Amino acid sequence: MQAKEEDVSLGANKFPERQAIGTAAQTEEKDYKEPPLAPFFEPGELVSWSFYRAGIAEFVATFLFLYITILTVMGVVSAKTKCSTVGIQGIAWSFGGMIFALVYCTAGISGGHINPAVTFGLFLARKLSLPRALYYMVMQCLGAICGAGVVKGFKRSIYMANNGGTNSVSPGYSKGDGLGAEIVGTFVLVYTVFSATDAKRSARDSHVPILAPLPIGFAVFLVHLATIPITGTGINPARSLGAAIIYNRDHAWDDQASHHLDIWIFWVGPFIGAALAAFYHQVVIRAIPFKSRS
């Protein structure tokens, strides 16, 4: 009888009670391992099929992203009454839903970036090399151009009459307003990407089921709800560039009132937002530069 009591005591102490949610992060003991920093330049990956396969995946994903989302935008803006369409909420769901689906499909191949700003933020955090980052951005832009081009091919007159789904600062808002909306919107997206794919979260919150593409897609949905009235919501330089190149009219490139170039807002804003999100998550929240990666 005594031996059995000892066994019970041993069993009870062998598996200590898990800390309450929210306090595990305060301990010094690591139950996870930080992934190693990606090399700045890795010649070996340039002759690897996985490198080129990943770029193709980014091209196809961005192509599909523009195809579905621009078609949705065309359906809404070309209708006589918005009540007969999915409306702004439907556009937001289209962008967020496609990101959810495409990140889920391509995360295991390329990481599921589908956005040069996301690629830039992850590059700053040393999660991919410079050649891979540049390659992804080129393939994303090419995919976006092709996706918008297919939509234009369906019905050129409707496409051209409705600005081709291009991004621009709406009347009543200044360029500073547009730039700020793009910076904050991209910050929300890229910060969500970092948080949803964090090795520490995967280890500490393993008891809380989380599917990384879901919060990422939901972040895109929410940002669109907030900023469609301001800029049409870029937060993705490839998306803005692809639509502008295929539409190829003054509205796509500059402010018709002042004839000053507007497209820079949809590159500078997202890149600043991505850089701020990378700095905030890696340096402020995780303090990764100040601790061992073992």
DSSP per residue over 157-176, as a string? HHHHHTGGG---PPTT--HH
| Phi, psi at 185, each rounded to 5° | -60, -45
Least confident window among 1-5, 9-13, 55-59, 130-134: 9-13
CA dist 242 and 62 (Å) reads 10
Task: For the chain, list the domains and their CATH numbers.
Answer: 43-284 (1.20.1080.10)
Select from 146, 135, 119, 147 the least CA-distant residue to 52: 135
Q: Of all residues in the chain, what percent are helix, strand and coil, respectively (each to 5)?
A: 70, 0, 30
| Phi, psi at 261, each rounded to 5° | -60, 130
Summarize the confidence of residues 143-167 as an average pLDDT. 92
Of the pLDDT bands very low, low, confident and very high (cuts 50, 70, 90), residue 6 is low
The tokens for 158 are 């409707």
Query: pLDDT tens across 161-220, in order?
Result: 888 999 999 999 999 999 999 999 999 999 999 999 887 776 666 655 668 899 999 999
Widest pairwise Cα distance in the chain: 90
* Dihedral sign, Cα of residue 199, residue 201, residue 203, residue 209: negative
Model confidence, pTM: 0.84
Looking at residue 4, what is its pLDDT? Answer: 57
Least confident window among 83-87, 146-150, 222-226, 237-241: 83-87
Distance spanning both ends of the chain, measured CA to CA: 45
Looking at residue 261, what is its pLDDT? Answer: 59
Which residues have CB under 8 Å from 16's CB, separation 6+?
Answer: none
Share of the chain above pLDDT 70, in %: 79
Summarize the confidence of residues 146-150 as an average pLDDT. 96
